[in-house]
Each structure stands twice: as structure tokens, then as C-alpha cells.
Amino acid sequence: MAHKDIVLTGDRPTGPLHLGHFVGSLQNRVMLQEKYKQYVMIADLQAMTDNVDNPQKVRDNVLQVLLDYLAVGIDPKKTSIFIQSLIPQIAELYVIYMNLVTVNRLKRNPTIKVEVQQRGFGQNVTAGFLTYPVHQTADITVVKGTLIPVGIDQLPMIEQANEIARRFNHIYKVDVFPEVKALTSKVSRLPGTDGTAKMSKSLGNAIFLCDTADVVAKKVMTMYTDPKHIRVEDPGNIEGNTVFSYLDAFDPDQKRVQELKDHYQRGGLGDVKIKRYLVDVLNNLLEPIRTKREALAKDPQEVMKIALKGSDDVLEVAEQTMKEVKEAICLNYK
Ligand code: TRP
């Protein structure tokens, strides 16, 4: 308990959250809130960077993401859940930080390079997208976050945040911002239902926390297994077999998983059987989440109040940070 580290994480509200988020970050946040002061941010402004023409989608998904947070057990009494655009100090810091980073440095950020390519932006990438790591630095530093849980693909973001924060401290000869550390998770990434490396909404291979039991069953039944496992009696391969990857990730009974793996590899265990078993495992996990989510969803206004309250709490911290920043850069008029 009583640890000095401050945790900040967040998500872009571009869709409801799925099982990939669950293993990658949500579970972790539920644990981290017991040990640290934790901030979880709904990054609505960041979501705009690649949804310029679809603000309504972003707006609608703020509630969806919030429902997911609460349904999995992120507790607003322990975690400040807040909305990025409600903290104007983030935008202020972003403007100040823009002078502390070069355009070349931003273009060299490996994560940005990949994302620009994935989205087909090429030379037409907007300034907003290219500089979102600077915006993200503002997210982290506005609450003086020190511990940022991220996937390894996000490590360049943390490096960039540190460069900016250090540069600020160095140029203005202050010690306003602490060192930022990445907290990389040990769990490997959850594949999509189609067996590809990553579960994502845009790839259409996701199981959402809000999917009904029937939808979960349907998605699991089409899941990628071992394409060479044709007849039940044939020995099957568990490597790269999505059903087993999911059982590894979600079945609390790992002894049973090992038995199923042995049986499958020996031959005599059909895909339909293991899929039905996985449907039960997933629905057992999701049922309480679904129930809680549905109950909360009946009163969206009440739910939104939680994020508004969290944002008010963050505003207080943000004002204090901003005061120190303005003092450092001689803009302390008041
Ligand atoms: N980029 C993160 C995502 O794609 C969301 C995010 C915004 C974030 N600001 C952050 C994560 C700061 C960690 C720290 O979901």
C-alpha cells in the first residue's frame, strides 16, 4: 500500500472493449487500483486524431468504454476515471511541449510510423496524428504519472514522453516532472478469433465484453483451430490453435486445459467439443460482467456522472501541475 508511484492508462473510445483489452489491460487495472493511485482516461480527443469525420462515434463510445470499465470492476472509489477533453490543462501542456520536440523526432517514432502506414496516411498525415505522442505526454504528465502500463508496441511512446519531460526540467531548471516508467505486461497478446496475431474491432475478429452468450457461442464456433485436424481421430496441433490460446488465457482450471491438450494431440478429441467447452469458459467469465453492464446501462446519465466526478478530481491535480509549469516558464501572471 501507500506507494508513491502514480499509474495512468487510457483507451481511445472508438468501440466497446473486447477480450484483448480484458487480458491486456483491464484485469491489470483492477489489480493496480489496490496498490496505487490510478488514473484511467477515456481519450476522446486522441480518438479524434483518426476519426476526424466521425465525432458522434467517439461520443457514443465514451459511454460504452465507461460501462466496460465499471462492469469489469474498475472501482471509481479507488480509480479516477476521467474524460480527456474535460481537462483543458492537457491541451495547454500539449502546446507547451510542442516546442520541446522536433518534427524529425516525431516522424522517427516507430509506433507512429507503423500506424501511419496502417491507416494509409502517407505524406498526408495530419499534424494532430503525427503529434499525438506529445498529446499523450501531456496526459501522463498532467497528473505526474510515473507508471504507465503499456504493451511493448507502446514503448516508444514512453520514451518520447520521458524525452519531453526531461527536456522541460532541464531547460527550465526545475524538477516538476518525475521519470516515467513503462509497466509492460507479461501476458502475451490475445489472438483474434480468426487466429491472426491481434484481436481488434477493425479486423472483425473480436469478442466484446458486451456480446450476448449466443454471439459469443457463434464467434467461438467459427474460430480458427488446426486446419489439418480433419477427422476427430486425427492427432491435432495445439500450437497456434486459437481455442487453446483462449483456454490458456481464460480457463481457471488449467489442469483440465492440460488434459484437453494431451487428448487433442493424441487424437480423438473433436474441434466442436473443445469449442463448446470454450464457449462455457468464456460465458462463465463474461456472465457477471454482462449482468453488471446491462444493469448500469439502464441509467446512462448516472453512469456518465461517474466520469464527470472523476474529471473534477483530476482537474484539481491538473491545476496544481499547471501552476508549477507556468511558474517554470515565466507565465505566472496571476
Ligand atoms: N493511446 C492509447 C490507446 O490507443 C490511449 C492513451 C491515450 C494512453 N493517452 C494515454 C495510454 C496515455 C497510456 C498513457 O488506447
Buried-state track 118-136, b at ≥16 Cβ within 10 A, e below 16: eeeeeeebeeebbbbbbbb
Determine which residue's CA is closest to atom 2 belonging to ligand 1. 11
What is the number of the ligand 1 atom nearest to the C-alpha of 11?
15
Q: Which residue, 223, 236, 217, is CA-closest to 192?
A: 223
**Residue 151 pLDDT grade (very low, low, confident, very high; cuts 50, 70, 90):** confident
Q: Mean per-residue pLDDT for 270-279?
A: 96
Q: Mean per-residue pLDDT for 241-264?
A: 96
CATH of domain 213-294: 1.10.240.10
Check residue 2 and give its pLDDT. Answer: 46
Give distance in angstroms: CA of 122 to centre of ligand 1.
22
SS3 letters across the chain: CCCCCEEEEEECCCCCCEHHHHHHHHHHHHHHHHHCEEEEEECHHHHHCCCCCCHHHHHHHHHHHHHHHHHHCCCCCCEEEEEHHHCHHHHHHHHHHHHHCCHHHHHHCHHHHHHHHHCCCHHHCCHHHHCHHHHHHHHHHHCCCCEEEECHHHHHHHHHHHHHHHHHHHHCCCCCCCCCEEEECCCCCCCCCCCCCCCCHHHCCCCECCCCHHHHHHHHHCCCCCCCCCCCCCCCCCCCCHHHHHHHHHCCCHHHHHHHHHHHHHCCCCHHHHHHHHHHHHHHHHHHHHHHHHHHHCCHHHHHHHHHHHHHHHHHHHHHHHHHHHHHCCCCCC
Check residue 153 and give its pLDDT. Answer: 84
What is the number of the ligand 1 atom nearest to the C-alpha of 149?
13
Give distance in angstroms: CA of 139 to centre of ligand 1.
8
Give distance in angstroms: CA of 62 to centre of ligand 1.
14
Cα separation values, 160 from 110, 134, 171, Å: 11, 8, 16
Q: Mean per-residue pLDDT for 171-199?
A: 90
Summarize pLDDT for 11-24 with one digit per residue, the tens: 999 999 999 999 98
Give distance in angstroms: CA of 41 to centre of ligand 1.
8
Q: Mean per-residue pLDDT for 141-166?
A: 94
pLDDT at 1 over 50: no
Give distance in angstroms: CA of 8 to centre of ligand 1.
9
| CB of 18 closer than 8 Å to CB of 199 | yes
Provide the residue ranges of all domains of the chain, joining segments of one domain with +: 6-190+301-328, 213-294
pLDDT at 178 over 60: yes
Q: Which CATH architecture has domain 6-190+301-328?
A: 3-Layer(aba) Sandwich (3.40)
pLDDT at 7 over 70: yes
pLDDT at 187 over 80: no
> pLDDT over 90 for what percent of the chain?
89
Residues near 194 by Cβ (< 8 Å), separated by ≥ 6? 203, 205, 223, 224, 242
Give distance in angstroms: CA of 171 to centre of ligand 1.
26
pLDDT at 188 over 90: no
Give distance in angstroms: CA of 24 to centre of ligand 1.
13
Beta carbon of 148 within 6 Å of any ligand 1 atom: yes
Beta carbon of 33 within 6 Å of any ligand 1 atom: no
Beta carbon of 140 within 6 Å of any ligand 1 atom: yes
pLDDT at 4 over 90: no
CA distance 243 to 7: 33
Check residue 3 and give its pLDDT. Answer: 56
Residues near 312 by Cβ (< 8 Å), separated by ≥ 6? none
Residue 83 β-bridge partners:
42
CA distance 64 to 62: 6
Say what angle helices 55-72 and 27-35 make with each other, to 10 degrees: 60
Q: For ligand 1, pick from 46, 90, 119, 201 the residue to mutate: most ligand atoms within 8 Å of CB.
A: 46
Summarize pLDDT for 50-75 with one digit per residue, the tens: 999 999 999 999 999 999 999 999 99
| CB of 149 closer than 8 Å to CB of 10 | no
Beta carbon of 50 within 6 Å of any ligand 1 atom: no
